[in-house]
Structure formats: C-alpha cells, structure tokens
Structure 1
Amino acid sequence: MLRTTDWAATPLGPVRGWPVALCAALAQVVDAAVPMWLCWGDELAMVYNQAYAGMLGNKHPRALGAPLRQVWGEVWDDVVGLIESTLAGTSVYREDMPLLVDRDGRLREAWFTFWYTPLRDDDGVIRGLICTAWDTTAKVRGQRRLADSEAALRHSERQYQTLFDRIDEGFCIIEFLDGPDGPLSDYIHIAANPAYLANAGIANVVGQRVRDMVPDEADAWVEIYRRVLLTGEAVRFERELVKTGRYLELAAFRVDPPERRQVAVLFQDVTQRHRAERSLRELNDTLERRVQAEVAERMRTEEALRQSQKMEAVGQLTGGIAHDFNNMLAVVMSSLELLDRKFMHDDPLARRYLDAARNSTRRAAQLTQRMLAFARQQPLKPEPLDVNQLVAGMSDLLRHSLGAGVRLETVLASGAWPTHADPNQLENAILNLAVNARDAMADAPGEPRLTVETANCHLDERYATEHVGLRPGPYVMISVSDTGVGMAPDVAAKAFDPFFTTKGVGRGTGLGLSQVYGFIKQSGGHIRIRSEPGQGTTVKLYMPRLVALQAAEAVVGVEPPAPRGDGRELVLVVEDEAAVRQLSIEALRELGYRVLEADGAEPALALLQAHPDIALLFTDVVMPGVNGRRLADEARRRRPGLKVLFTTGYSRDAVVHNGVLDPGVHLIGKPFALAELGRRVHEVLGGPA
C-alpha cells in the first residue's frame, strides 16, 4: 500500500524527493512490530505501519500522507501542546492518556500510551516527529473494573461482618467430616456469631463437633443438615435442642460449591412462643381444628379469587378479539347484503351460494357475540322481568329444541320474585343450558328428562364469602336439570372456561356455558353447577330480586321490514377503517339516504360546519385520537339538535358502562344486517335528539 500510494498528491511530494532521514525513519516505522507512525513537513503529513492501521479504524487508508491535524482532528486540542513540545526538541511520554477518538463514526472514550520523539532532516533540523503508540483501553477498563470489584468486596465484607456481629438471630457455619459412623457422619462448627449463645444456650462452639456437643441428639441434627448438603435444597423447620431445653426456629442452606461440605444455619429461640402455643392448645383443644377450617376457608376463597381473576383476564382477551372480528364481519355481511340486492335477482345458483355465505357470516357473528357475552362486554337492555312468564313462554321453543324424545318438565314457584335482566339474553342462557343438557342425555341410559324450575332463595353472608364478587341477599333462582351422563369434578370445574367442550369435533364451540356465565355475572347474578358422573347435571342461575317493582311481561313480536329514507335526509358516516366505512356508505345509500363520509373527528366536524342539513351522525365509537363519544359531544355542543347513532364491535368503551347503555344513547353493534341498520336509522331520526 505504501508503494502504490500517490505520494505526489500529498504534502510529502514524490518519493524520489524525500530526504534520507525521512526514508530511514520510514523504514524503521515499517519494519517495527509495534504500532508506529511519523509525521513530516510543515503540514505534518502522516505515514504509519501495518500494526498502527488497526488503531485508525475507518480512517485507514485515507490517513496515508494526510496532515496529522486532519487525521486526528477530534483529539487535536488534547495533543497539540505535546506535539509542539516535541517539535521544539523535547521528547514526550504519556501513559494511559484518555482521549475521545472517532471509532467508526462515533466518539468513544479510549486510553493510549505513546512516546513522541523529534524527527530531524539531513541537516539536523527538526522537521517532524516519530511516535510509538499502544491502545491501553482494555487494560485501563480492566483495572477500573478490578478496582470497583476487590472495593465492592471490601464493602461486602464489612457489611457481612456487621450483620454477623449485630443480628439477634444465632448464626453459624458447619463443615461436615467423615467419622467413625461413616462418610459425612459428623460436623464441626467453623464460625458462630455472638447471638449463638443467647439463642442456643451453648458457649464456645467454634471448633466443637456436634457428636461431642450433643451426643444424644447428634444423629437427628446430622441427618437434617446432611440432606441440605447433598440436595442443595434449603430447609426451614422448628426443633427442640434437648440439651438446653430451647425450642428453636431454624433455616439452613448449603454454602456452595458443594465440595466445601459447608452448611449455613440461621436460628432463633422461640421457646416462649412455643410454650404459649402449647398452653393455648391445652386450654382449647378445638383451636387447631378451627384454624384448619379457617385455612381451608381461606384457600377456597383464594381459589375463587384466582378463578375470578382468570375469567376476567380471559374475558378481556376475548373481548378484544371479538372487536376485531366484528369489524371484519361487518365488511363481509354488508358486502353480501349489497351484492344480493343489486346483482343476484335472476341467478338462483349464485343466490344459493350467497345464502350459504350469509349463514356462515351470521354464525360467525353469533360466535363473536358469545365471546362478548363471556367477556361481560355485550350491551344489555335490562327490564323488570317475571321469570315464571319467561320460562312458560319458552316451553314451545324448548320442546322444539330438545326434540320429541326428551321429556320437558317445568316447576314454577308460586309468587316468584321479579328480577331486572335482559329478557332476550336470559332466554338465550336457558336455551343454551337446555341444548347442552340434550346433548349430555343423548348417550345416557334411561328416559331423557329436562326439568326447568324457578324458586325464591336467599344467599347468606357465609355463602357469599365463598364466591368472590357475590353479594348476599334475595335472589330468584332458575335451575335446569338433566338426566345426562354427568361430569367428573375436574371437568365441571372447567365447564365455564371459554372454548372448553367435552363434545366431539364439530359439535360445539365451547362458548355456550361461558356465554351464560358472562351474562349472569354481568347482570349481577350468580351461577352454580352440580354434576356427578352417571347422575346428571344441574345448573342454577341466581338473578338479583327486583324490589318494589312488578316484572313487565316480555313481549316478542315479528320484526318489521327495514324502512327506507326519502332521499332527502343527509347522514354523516365517521369510521376510521376504510373498508367498513365504504360498506356503511353503500348500505345507507341503498336504504335511500344521502351520505357524507369522514375518517376521523377533525374532518367530521369540518363537514358538520359546512353542511347544516346533516340530519344524523353515524359514528364508530372506538377510533384513534378522538373517540366517537367525544366527537358526538363536540358535535352536539355545536349542533344541539343533531341526532347520533353509534356503532361498535366492542362494548367496553365510552357509551357502555357496567354492561348497560348510557341513558339516551343509540347503539348498533357490528356486524349489522342491512334491515337492522335501516330500522335503527329510521328509529333515531324519528325520535327526540
């Protein structure tokens, strides 16, 4: 590289013009095994050997023949004084000098040891300098780490000694020995703190063997600590030191490495406490059973809490999944509806395919609805409800769902209390239980019989404490019992878990019972399952009693066809997902409405300002930045008479709280059918703001 460098383009000029002194010095540099460089002339042009090239990093080979100030510009202010001293005739030596150097485009702290020597021309005039340099960064950092460490060690030793001397608990280190009774059959105390005597009652234990100290009980102590030494498992236990009559609470762990044969023991004298406990046991021999019962009760409560927390966590996850699915299903469902209305009038085969796709889409929507029900995130419309009327009104539906082979019995309590619940969701819950029961009875011997029963009951404080989140008080109970195959306890414990099913592949989603669980919990109720293999299953739903109100009779009617707009009403659609927004626009236009669109709150407010004839704001709730509720609030502040219809695939948001719609809020869930959208838009436009 030195031979091929165009030296004429550098301040050194052509090689044939170099002084003999420069050539000799260069030969010394090139032949050296250590990193060396020299600089020459008014600009101190730089030449170096192969060993030094590595220190330059990405500056090599551009540094060949370049001015020294240019090559090491980042450290020039640090070394220029040393260079000037050298050029004045004084050699300079620096050891482990810190510098911020350019390493691959970044300034990094490094340390160098170097030696500057004046370099003279053929007439003895100093024309440059020669440098021998070593990068000592690794050495300096190693020394610093070392200093920080053997310091940390001193601090640790002082801390250990302070703790060793001052703690109230006794502490000792024992080392195992091979004795007459075999390998590791004895141990000697190699260290003990001052509190050893106060807690154990034995003095001067260092250097004593356990078989000499307490010969009658040595075997037991050796066995305990030898197990710690051999397994590496720490132990905590209580034991009486018979020799001194002290009752000790001890903890022991192995001192690694195992080859040291050492175990550390920390202990304290708990004799007074032990005597007090023994006295209490003597005074009340039932105390232990009470404590055991209390512990068992606490364990049951903790297990119920863990189960509740697990169901809550899974519910949050399934709710989020359902939200995303609903957005996707909204696009699919709306596309199929519009495709049917516009293009499928004269093609029966295409219509059959289209109907199959719509049926699957509806099933998928039902699946996400069940997920939201389990997550307790479906918007409910509770109303005063007579459970006897609801169950009686479901008789035909239940018989149709169960089939002719299943005997249905209903036992309705006289004077059943009213409750406050969503009648449609409660019907779905009972129907879910009935269908599960039908499947369970399919493989059971004997006559299949389903019993639906209502009753008034009171859940007391004791029962409520066993079930996290349950309030004691009056409840109306609906039970569904079958004569099916029943469930083992481990299966029944997981019956409400989402996607858990005992049915074969393709026979169930595992969301039926979890949907019932979510709805009952969201309604402030309680659900209980009792089952035994071969003895059938009973599921009891407890709904809070509605006090001082009469239950309203549930009225179920046939949904009318979707009403259409008159071509004059203007609707503003606000949706951040383009596909969902476009399908909503086309659906509204198909229903006879004029439509404007916006992908967020800011453009929506601008359109409201520019179009005072907008009659309805149709907005998604969950949007980035300003959500739909905040958009509606601001729009109504500017336009007090504006009608608003919200849509969402996820109910845990700004318009639903505790599972119930906020007063005065109109909401349509995703995905929605075209007819449903038409009815809701007509309903909102025709009602008060």
Structure 2
Amino acid sequence: METALETLSRAELEAEVLRLRRSGAASDTAADTADARRQALFEAIDDGFCIIEFFDGPHGALSDYRHVEANSGYERHTGIAGIVGKTLRDIAPTEAEGWLALYGEVLCTGEPVRFEREFVTAARFIEVSARRVGPAENRQVSVLFRDITARKASEAALRESEALARDNVQRVQLALSAGAILGTWIWDIADDCLAADEGFAGAFGVEPGADLATLRVEALLQAIHPDDRPGVDAAIAARLAQPGPYRHQYRVRGRHGDYAWVEAVGRVEADEAGRAVRFPGVLLDLESRRAVEAERDRVTEELRRLTETLEQRVADRTAELMRAEEQLRQAQKMEAVGQLTGGLAHDFNNLLAGISGSLEMIGSRLAQGRFAEVEKYLAMAQAAGRRAAALTHRLLAFSRRQTLDPRPTDINDLVDGMADLVRRTVGPSIAVECVGAAGLWTALVDASQLENALLNLCLNARDAMPDGGRITIETANRWFDARAADAHEIPPGQYISLCVTDTGVGMSADVIAKAFDPFFTTKPLGQGTGLGLSMIYGFAKQSGGHARIYSEEGKGTTVCIYLPRYYGAGEAERDGGAHFSAGSGAAQAPGQGVVLVVDDEPLVRMLVVTALEDMGHTVLEAEDGAQGLRILQSDAAIDMVVTDVGLPGGMNGRQMIDAARCDRSATPVLFITGYAENAIIGNGHLEPGMQILTKPFAVGDLEDRVRAMLPGQG
C-alpha cells in the first residue's frame, strides 16, 4: 500500500486523505477501517500534513485556529513537535494575524493557495499549499508542507555557477580584445595528458619542437615559481575534488629563464558520476597590468613624499602667509565669492604646484646668491597660500563646517550699517531700499558671516538686473507652526527673516532646484564659480535656520534667510569683544601678561608663542589638554589662555577650559580652530570671556585679539 501511495501526485494524495476522512464520518461500521487507512496514508506521505479548525472570538470574527490532525512529516518539515491540539497563538503569537488572514481567505473563498516559505527553526525551505475541507461551515482547512530545500540549494548553486561562467567568459573576451591571451590548454585528466598551443608551451619554457599534444602536467608545474607552487597545487587539487570554474595567478619561467606573472582561467568538467575528467583553459598575460600597478604605486609613494616635503616647506613660511589673511577675507567680501576656476582637485593641484615651485626657486636663488629675485618667488608662494586658504573657507561654508562666532545680533542695525556699502557696490543704476520690521526680535548669529551673505545676495541681484532696477532688503518676524516649519525644513518656532528682492530676470523652476548646489552657476565662464548661494545655504543651516528662493521668470527673485530667534538675556551687540570678562586681577601694563598656549601642533604652537613673546608677554606652553589642565589647576599666575580645540589624549580644548572654570572663571579664553568643532559651543553660544579665531590666521589678527581680551592691553 505504501509503495502505491508514494506514486500518487500531491493533488491525488490530498484528495485521497479528504475522501477517506469523509467516508470515515459517513459510516460507523467502517469507521475503524477508514481511520486505520487514513492514518496509514498520513504516515506514508513524506510531506508534512495537517488539518486546522477555526473558531470565533468574543465578537464573532475568526480569532484563532487549532491543529486537529497532523502526520509525523509535519514535525520533520516545520521543526514544530506535538502540534495536535495547539492553537496558532500558542506556537506563533507574533505572526498570528498574518496566518489567520492567509488561511481565513482560503476558508471563506474556497480558493486554494500555494507559496514558499523559509522555516528558520527547521533550517529548511518549505512549499506550502492549503485548501478548504468541505463547505465553509466545517471551518477546516488542510495544509500540506513539502521540503524544497534541496531544490533551492540547487537553484542557488546553478545561479552561482552561471555567474562564475559569465565572469570567466567576460574576462576571456576582454583578454581577447586586449591581446592578453598567451595560449590555451586542454588537460585530459584520466590520461594525465595535456595538449596546448605554442603560446602556452613557450610561457612554460617548453622547447620548440616538443610534442604539444602529449605534455605532462608535472613537468609543466616545475616551471612555476617555488614561492607560488604550493598555492597552485592546492588550487588545482581543490578544483579536481569539486569540478567547476578555476582562476589563479602565479609566476612562471619561460624559455629565456625569466619569471613572468600569468593568470590561468579555465573550468574542470565532470562526468555523470561527478569525477573530474577534463580541464580546458586559457593563459593570460599579467605582466603589463602588474607593471601599470607597480608604476601607480611608485607614483603614489612619490606624491606622498612630495606632499610631506611640501608641508614642511609651507610650515616654514606660515607666518608670512598668514599676514595677508585679513586682506584676503576682505577681498572675498567685496568680490562675493572669489576666483575658483575649476574642480577642487584641479585648483588644489595648481596651488600646491605654485607653492612648491616657488619655494624650490627661492632655495635655488639663495644658493646662487641671487637675492634680488627671492622676493618675487616669495610673493608667488604667499599668493598661492592665500588662495588655498580662501578655497578651504568656501568649502567649509557650503559644507556647514566653517567656524562661526554667534552673538545676539540686531539684524535691523546690521542692515543699516551695510546699506551704504551695498549702494556703492551695486552702482547708481540700481535703487536700494531697506525695510526694517518694527520690534524685530534678536537673532543669535555670526554677524560678520551674515554681512558677507547679505552682500553676496545683493551682488547676485545686481547681476540679474544689467539694465538697472531696484533691490529691497527687508526684515520680519516669522512664526512657523509644524506644517509651515516642515515646508521650510526647520523646527517649529520663532524666526527672523532677512530677504533680498530684485526686479531682475528671475529664475526658472529648474534653476531654482539647482541654485544651492555647489559649483552650479548660470553666469558665463569666468564670471562665477557657483559657490555663492551654496555658501549662504550652508551658513543658514549651520546657524540653525534655512534659506529659500522665490522667483518667477521675467518678474524678479527673492532670496530669504531664516534665522532662529534668540531668547537669552542681554542686549544685541555688534562689537565682537565688548561683553567679555576682563579677568580677575589688576590691569596689566601692555605686553606684561602671562598667557598659556595649548596646541598639539608644534609649528602652530611655535608661531603663537613667538608672536606673544614679541608682544612682551610671558608664555607658558602645553601640548595637550591634560598638560594644560595641570597648569591651569596649579598656582601659576595666568592672565589669558590661547588653546586649540582639537587636542589629543581624550580631552579637547573646550573640555579643558570647562574643567578649570571653577578656579579661573574670569580668565579670558581664545579658541583657535581649523573648522567648526561641535566641542566649542556647549549650550548654543560661547560663554562670556571666550572668543574664536579661525585657522589659518594672520599674526596681526592674533595680536589684535590678545590686546582686546587681556586687561589693560586695548
């Protein structure tokens, strides 16, 4: 009986089980016989089989089902033991709703379903089919489980094999097109005889005239480099044990005795019993590729060496380069964006070439005693350095990593102070009108960067009105609820808007969508870099606000900067250092203070220390936060601290100052930093007595800050 049952199809098995179940219920006399036959049938089916029966919940809807019958195959296929009598929520409470919906649909509609599912507990893939038992009133559904793990594994293996085969075919095709194939071979594994062409034989050092149809594999393997031979033997053995695609790289000695890199690509073929019988393949030339890679590595190392040398040379001239930084910033402010002419890599390579070449010419002229020409090359190096600093500043601006010094600011006062400069800059053909809102809230913002952004917007407006027109600069209080804030991509709350409107040519929707993208510009080549608006956008986002463009072609453009309202106490200020604490001691005579300098970069520390000593100050030095904190917690008299923010050793500059504030709360602190580290600002703004100076900085800027912050030095 079992043999006959095993030959039945899946549908026939299910139908027979259900028929027997119905016949068993129809006759009490034949009940035992039907049950016995049905049980035998259950156990004869290798597939898992069960019958589930639905029952209602408190409100009449189908809430669960119970397993009323199951064969032994059920546990084998699902990994669930003792299923009879258990409900769905007993065995899978987290997945109950999904199974109820699936099988409930079968019960209600009478439409059978079939799907595949991975049962993790049993580590198998199962094909599941379900159909209703009799009418819907019976509330029963039969479920059959069939193990398809082997089929899934075969399909995955086939896909992998096909992918490898495609990869090898592609590699051979590429090699053919590049002329990289040295030769071909076919190895008859049973006879241990290898047939090859002349190219393959020559690569393995086989002398001319040899019988290329009966080469011996062991003799050929002797030509492989001794260091590579173990790997080749292992790779071949592994592939002979499990036929399939083969690929390996090694060195082989040719007819002239020189070793050359090759790559063998082939496939071991098997007979019906799975034994390796044939191994065809091609031999590819790797020497050209290896040479290119070696040259690439050599050039990379050479560039690295040159970069290290260049950094040292640039460091030797840092003081001279930094003196022009303030002038460069002013030039950027007046020229709006600067003079980027290409991509970043192109610009930086040009700058490095200018600095490196100038320094080399300075060294050459000094060695030749031609001192009169040194100044020319020094000026060239300084100019390249200033351009590099400017480019870095722009990049930090639109990437929202520039160092900001936010202060409570009255934007109406800021606009009034900029009005005359804007009018002179845009020219007499353009009228400038300033409309300041009454009762304007205070903003927490870096005033100098906001001035720069305002000037940029006015210059863009001027360029949009070549025949003249009107620029309106307007401020307003804005309150954004959740919906409006979401549209403006900012948190809900109160904001101050600063808007610049022109009567120019306007922008299309496509241009507006790209206007804030770095390097996007509609201006002719050489008249714009595409960084202006992206810098403004980055500044607004970094300040906690946003920037938006409203425009219509032929009718003009409005660009608005939204800045969060400042809720702190105190009046808005325009003077950068007016509110800082002056220190705890009596006023010092100019140039007689004690300054602690903390910086882990020796060259920067040397520059700062030298500048302060030239001013007449006494200088204490520390190279990390821990060493600086020990000095601050000592009895040393310290009138001011100049510290980098990014310090090694697990304690940055801000953490060092915070740890020492309880003893030196009135000591002024000047942070010097190369970018906007989050560690500088703790609660949204700097505390009284703290200022920021951005690297690279001019020595004159450092001296001015020290004079302003030290008591009695102004």
TM-score (norm 2): 0.45
Between the two structures, name the one with larger relative contact order (CA 8 Å, sep ≥ 6).
1
